[in-house]
Amino acid sequence: MADGAPPPRLQTRPRSLGVTAKISLGLVGARGHVGAELIRLVAAHPRFELAFVSSRERDGQRLADHEPSYAGDLRYTNLDAEAAAGQGADALVLALPNAMAAPFVAQVDARAPATVVVDLSADYRFDDGWHYGLPELTRADAAGKRRISNPGCYATAMQVAIAPMHDVLAGPVQCFGVSGYSGAGTSPSDKNDPDKLRDNLMPYSLTGHVHEREVTRRLGLPVEFMPHVAAHFRGITLTANLHLSRPFDLDEVRGRYYAAYGAEPLVEVTGDTPWVSRIAGRHHAEVGGFTLAADGRRLVVVSTLDNLLKGAATQALQNLNLAFGLPETMGIPA
């Protein structure tokens, strides 16, 4: 147990939550870009409240000194897996790098199995025992789920672009993606070094990227993904090349996307080509730029989203709202 942490309390069933009762949420990995965005969302949420925020680097520091949107007296703590699971929070969000979630999940399973866990890493996206939380595509299976894997940012953009044409695809889908350097996290690397990215476009992981495998598994079709990082801080633009099993015209293509997303509050179908500069700081995804080859059997689609928001923190809040039976967009700015 981390020094100074309160003794753990065994939680075997969820506490009763009234229609206005606060829902407590713990966050592990609070110093990162996504953790900061989630803190801002939770601070303004009418039902969720922060029970603890854990960060090794900021242990003991006041949260309000780093996140002005938070007005309370909460301080960062440095909780190990056992201590985090023992805090009695109704929900635990893990905003950790890949391959670090398992000890926290094991302790929650053992000590507080009723706790809702949302994992933002890739660790459980391939685990059939976890709900894969891309609400626009998996909402029907969300009820009652307490182990929720948040999709990857690129994977969200790819699935939004591809899903409406899923049943008429012929062969692999090629996806060319460009992300702002916030997607590389806060640990220093070439991919988040503004000097090395200046006037540059940096390709990486050109085969076998985890989001390529994620989308291939979720959609049940081969996806070939080529990611790049650019000099802007936030936002993804994703261009998908779809080979079709029969000729289409643009009206039919647009009709499929409007049928899929026309009623979705956090996906906007646009007749224009989405620009990443228009999506930064916004909580929805945009899809458009529909372009057909002359024979109508090759379609190019563009999707954009903010990798820290709809690609991570906003989507996590969608999943938390669903898990607790709240309106899905509660606390998400328009």
Q: Which residues contact 23 (CB under 8 A, 6 or more apart)?
A: 17, 47, 48, 49, 90, 91, 324
Round to the nearest angstrom and report the end-to-end CA distance of the chain: 41
Pick the catalytic residue from 36, 153, 238, 332.
153
SS3 state at 202: strand
Task: Judge whether 215 and 159 are in contact, CB under 8 Å.
Answer: yes
* DSSP-assigned letter for residue 246: S
Name the phi and psi angles at 146, rounded to 5.
Answer: -120, -5
Report the C-alpha gap between 42 and 46 in whole angstroms.
8
Nearest to 138 by CA among 327, 315, 332, 326: 315
Residue entry with tokens 């000099």: 231
SS3 state at 26: strand
Catalytic, 153? Answer yes
Nearest to 28 by CA among 99, 88, 81: 81
SS3 state at 227: strand
Both tokens of 179, joined, read 């992300």
Report the C-alpha gap between 316 and 34 in whole angstroms.
10
Residues carrying an active site annotation: 153
